[in-house]
Structure 1
Amino acid sequence: MKTADAVFVYSLEEHAYQFHEKHPFNPLRLELTKDLLEACGSLEDGHVLPPRKATNEEIALVHDQAFIDAVQMAGSKQLSAEKARSYGLGTDDTPFFKGMHDAASFLVGGTLTAVDAVMSGSVSHALHLGGGLHHGFKGKASGFCIYNDSSIAIEYIKQKYKARVMYIDTDAHHGDGVQWSFYDDPDVFTLSIHETGRYLFPGTGSVTEKGAGEGYGFKLNIPLEAFTEDDSFLESYETAFREAIEFFKPDVILTQNGADSHYLDPLTHLHTSLKSFQSIPKLAHELAHTYCEGRWIAVGGGGYDHWRVVPRAWASIWLEMTNQTHISQLPIPSSWIDQWQEKADVPLPYSWGDPAGMLPEVPRKSIIETRNQQTVDKALYYIRNEKRFHQSSYSQKR
């Protein structure tokens, strides 16, 4: 019997994953979100599950041992700059920091802790905001990501629980590391909705990336136009998610919840508001219960407006998981604002939504919406065609 419906995986040990104080990938986001939820009374000690540290063997489910060795050496300053760069380490995006292997191992272990909580049947849902490092590759770090916790978690689910996994990535950056880890795997469906790579790192994620071999058709990308707003983003997301999950019928859903498609994010060019971040987990929650007996694991990801956007966006996932969305109709607790305002370099928000009129008008709105719809149609062509083929075959047999 389940003692709770969801767990929140977190500990201070995850704060060690910090490149330097001015680096945009800042663990402060985790603390701000947890404190906001506690201030609302929606997160109690009994909900919090500490992460374990992943073993080297678990990390090696996806990553080369030579790369793991390089990360360990880099964290103790034993790796040359030239050798480090061949592994994507010591760069502006992924600079050295002391103990980087141990810190990254806790982030991986946090996602595996969430996996075991859900797949063992202890809870229906698990949230691990320290995860979501979707740019990590088999033998290379990339885009703030050392080890790819989502890829490791998916392989772990496949091997330990013999389950089919659907991975949904709503980060503004393409979920490239996860996609390429399972590009030829028919038991893993990856769906990434992101800003087009024409203007943004990592430059991949086109509609033509559909998988290879037996995995063809099980990889889906929705590259959105820059300056895409809420309505077009959400329509694209819901259309793709609903059709893909009906096609694939997974055993479990893993969502990556980057919060960097928001208008205020300093690193991207999408134009959404908090409306999108409240709607994204709502659909995941619904579809998890429709197709997966409720099994839903959520991780964090990008999001670089630490004060105004990320805490509200990520807290919305927990409120949805635990059926507490009524809290988002109330003001942000004054205790949270009082606690953090002196440390913040911008005024903190007083409401869960964004103020009316905050987003400037986008002159190309109709053009952007039309192009996004065309992109969705192109991306879903294979799935829709397969559906028509099977329906036709069934009618002929009857």
Structure 2
Amino acid sequence: MSQHAVYVYHPDETLYRFNDTHPFDQERLLLTGDLLRKAGALDDSQIVTPTKAGERDLLLVHTPEYVEAVKRLSEPHPSEEAVRDAERFGLNTDDTPYFAGMHDVTLQIVGGSIEAAEAVMSGMTDHALHLGGGLHHAMPNKGAGFCVYNDASVAIAYIRARYGVKVLYVDTDVHHGDGVQWSFYHDPNVCTLSFHETGKYLFPGTGAANERGEGEGYGMCVNVPVEPYTEDESWMEGFDEALDRVVRFFKPDVIVSQHGCDAHALDPLAHVHCSTRIYVDMPRTIHRLAHRYCGGRWIALGGGGYDIWRVVPRAWSFVWLAMTEHPLLDRIEREPDLPLPADWLAAWADKSPVELPTTWLDPTDLWTPMPRRREIVESNRRAREIALMYVPK
């Protein structure tokens, strides 16, 4: 191996922007990269600059008709016909409105996830992180949930087509990873594990425990929904059990994980009440299992996360620190009050509309415990038991 981990990033990924008031804000990529640099955890030698995906790559997952619709709506002034078709392709909603240049910039994002996959599968590195990716809601023929093309699905399809190995997809976003699930719902060689807030109350409304795959893919889809106001201990109890059992059962050759960090209590678009602690623990669990069962092969992507100032930079930094086994992560564990780099706080404080956190971990001892904690924990255990009923212990 020439490197233990690579950080895949292209500056053009920040151009994935629907409008000035949209909650999906890729400035979080700049905030995270700057935090890692100022913490002494990222340098230029670790960064890989990806090329754009080709349209043939998109067609591994997306229909030609959908790709053509995206291209037409990417023009500075789309035709009337293209605009009329936008609704049919899911590209005229408040969540996913079409914007000029979206085809090219999303090709760049897809290219980053393919680059990360190739870096790991070729043996160039054990692990690869592409935080610009993780657009997990896009369907083969439709955009949805802030996602135009599904880079996670394309990267998995690329791995399957080129290397023919078994892929475990692990989705930690608070919203169900529906686009990836449906793309591989019949495939016995792709197992999807999504850990998310129940769809009873949250977009996209799917991800029930009885969605298990179909045909040859039956049993290769595992959904573990949790109740609103779930806290750290219950979240991690379920995550650790589910991932450990699924990995041992499926025996993947590579793990592709999506790291939405919107299960945090401060995220405005969901109802789960976790802290930064789970974002330390989850990548550590994935990292350990990747080395134990997959020869270390681990590709990690970004995802949701809409408190871009107080949550995303810290949560995403922990993925990279876990990948690189950086000593800072152990120090954070030993010193829960360890401060964030002063120069990072100084650089961003005036730009942030909210007061920035000053420590790597949240001071959860000062948080008010959630009411109904016991009932929530028990409900999560019952749901997990149903979700894992066909997965051996």
The answer to whether the superposition gives a TM-score over 0.5 is yes
Partner of 2:4: 5
Report the Cα offset of residue 81 of structure 1: 2.9
Counterpart Cα distance in 2 of 1:327 and 1:109: 34
1:155-209 CA deviation, whole Å, 9 max, x = no partner? 1000101110000001000000000000010000000010000100000000000
Partner of 1:25: 24
Partner of 1:251: 253
Partner of 2:196: 194
* Structure-2 change in CA distance of 1:78 and 1:356 (3 Å): closer
Write out aligned runs for 1:201-212 (5 A).
201-212=203-214
Write out aligned runs for 1:236-385 (5 A).
236-324=238-326, 325-326=329-330, 328=332, 329=335, 330-384=338-392
Could you tell me which runs of 5 or more consecutive residues in structure 2 were left unpaired when the two chains were aligned.
none
Counterpart Cα distance in 2 of 1:220 and 1:138: 20
Report the Cα offset of residue 347 of structure 1: 1.1
Report the Cα offset of residue 78 of structure 1: 2.1
User: What code does the residue aligned with 2:267 have?
Assistant: D
Write out aligned runs for 1:99-178 (5 A).
99-178=101-180
SS at match of 2:33: helix
Counterpart Cα distance in 2 of 1:358 and 1:90: 43
> Superposition RMSD on alpha carbons, in Å?
1.0
The number of equivalent residue pairs is 384
Partner of 1:53: 52
SS at match of 2:244: helix
Would the aligned equivalents of 1:319 and 1:327 in 2 still touch at CA under 8 Å? no
Counterpart Cα distance in 1 of 2:39 and 2:331: 7
SS at match of 2:255: strand
Partner of 1:182: 184
Counterpart Cα distance in 2 of 1:169 and 1:360: 28
SS at match of 1:86: coil
Report the Cα offset of residue 98 of structure 1: 1.2
Report the Cα offset of residue 3 of structure 1: 2.0
Would the aligned equivalents of 1:285 and 1:321 in 2 still touch at CA under 8 Å? yes
Would the aligned equivalents of 2:275 and 2:364 in 1 still touch at CA under 8 Å? no
Counterpart Cα distance in 1 of 2:95 and 2:269: 13
User: What code does the residue aligned with 2:388 have?
Assistant: L
Partner of 1:78: 78
User: What code does the residue aligned with 2:200 have?
Assistant: R
TM-score (norm 1): 0.95
Report the Cα offset of residue 68 of structure 1: 0.5
Partner of 1:42: 41
Would the aligned equivalents of 2:213 and 2:221 in 1 still touch at CA under 8 Å? yes
Counterpart Cα distance in 2 of 1:291 and 1:53: 31
* Structure-2 change in CA distance of 1:327 and 1:95 (3 Å): farther
Counterpart Cα distance in 1 of 2:23 and 2:118: 30
Would the aligned equivalents of 1:163 and 1:251 in 2 still touch at CA under 8 Å? yes
User: What code does the residue aligned with 2:369 have?
Assistant: E
SS at match of 1:277: helix
Would the aligned equivalents of 2:284 and 2:322 in 1 still touch at CA under 8 Å? yes
1:123-171 CA deviation, whole Å, 9 max, x = no partner? 0000000000000000000000000001001110001011100000010
Could you tell me which runs of 5 or more consecutive residues in structure 1 were left unpaired when the two chains were aligned.
388-398
Counterpart Cα distance in 1 of 2:368 and 2:85: 46
User: What code does the residue aligned with 2:92 have?
Assistant: G
Report the Cα offset of residue 13 of structure 1: 1.0
1:264-304 CA deviation, whole Å, 9 max, x = no partner? 00000001000000001000000000000000000000000
Counterpart Cα distance in 2 of 1:55 and 1:360: 50
Report the Cα offset of residue 358 of structure 1: 4.4
Would the aligned equivalents of 1:40 and 1:327 in 2 still touch at CA under 8 Å? no
Partner of 1:391: none
Counterpart Cα distance in 2 of 1:206 and 1:81: 34
* Structure-2 change in CA distance of 1:279 and 1:73 (3 Å): same
- Give the 4+ runs in structure 1 shifted more than 4 A: none
Counterpart Cα distance in 2 of 1:141 and 1:53: 19
Partner of 2:65: 66
Would the aligned equivalents of 2:73 and 2:83 in 1 still touch at CA under 8 Å? no
1:352-389 CA deviation, whole Å, 9 max, x = no partner? 100134432211100000010111111111113xx7xx
SS at match of 1:168: strand
SS at match of 1:146: coil
Report the Cα offset of residue 16 of structure 1: 1.2
User: What code does the residue aligned with 1:23 have?
Assistant: H
Partner of 1:395: none
Report the Cα offset of residue 96 of structure 1: 1.9
Report the Cα offset of residue 336 of structure 1: 0.4
SS at match of 1:290: helix
Counterpart Cα distance in 2 of 1:85 and 1:75: 15
SS at match of 2:357: coil
Would the aligned equivalents of 2:69 and 2:89 in 1 still touch at CA under 8 Å? yes
Bigger shift: 38-47 or 78-87?
Answer: 78-87
Report the Cα offset of residue 327 of structure 1: 5.3
User: What code does the residue aligned with 1:5 have?
Assistant: H
